[in-house]
Amino acid sequence: MTNFNDRERGEEAKFAFDEETAFKIAARRNRLVGEWAAALMGLTEEETDAYKKAVVQADFEEAGDEDVVRKLLGDLTAAGCDVSEADIRTKLEEKTVEARRQLMGGA
C-alpha cells in the first residue's frame, strides 16, 4: 500500500508542478505579447510596462485566451493599428514558444 500512496503523492506533485509551469508560461507569454502590442501602438517605456501588466491581468477574466485576444484586438484597433484577430492568435502562438524557451532555459 505504501508504494501506491507514494505513487499517488508523486502524481499529485507532478500535476501541481505542471499546472504551475503552464501558469508561468502563460503569464510570460502575455507579457511578451503585451510588449509586442505596445510597440505597435507606440507606447512609451512606462506605458509599455503598465500595458504588459494589464494584458496579464486580462487573462484572469475567463479560462482560455479569448479574454487576452479581445483586449489586444480592442486596444490595437482603438490605436489605429491594422491587426487582425488571426494576427494576434499567431503572435500568441509565437510568444508561447518563446516564453516556454525562456522559462525552461532559465532566461
Kindly list the domain boundaries of the chain, sorted by start residue.
2-105
**pLDDT for residue 75 is more than 80:** yes
Which three cell numbers mark 61? 477574466
Averaged pLDDT for residues 81-95: 97
**pLDDT for residue 2 is more than 80:** no
Within 13 Å, how many C-alpha atoms sit on residue 8's CB side?
A: 5
Question: What is the fold of 2-105?
Answer: Major Prion Protein (1.10.790)
Q: What is the pLDDT of residue 106?
A: 64
**pLDDT for residue 107 is more than 60:** no
Averaged pLDDT for residues 79-106: 94
| 45 touches 100 (CB < 8 A) | no
| 51 touches 34 (CB < 8 A) | yes
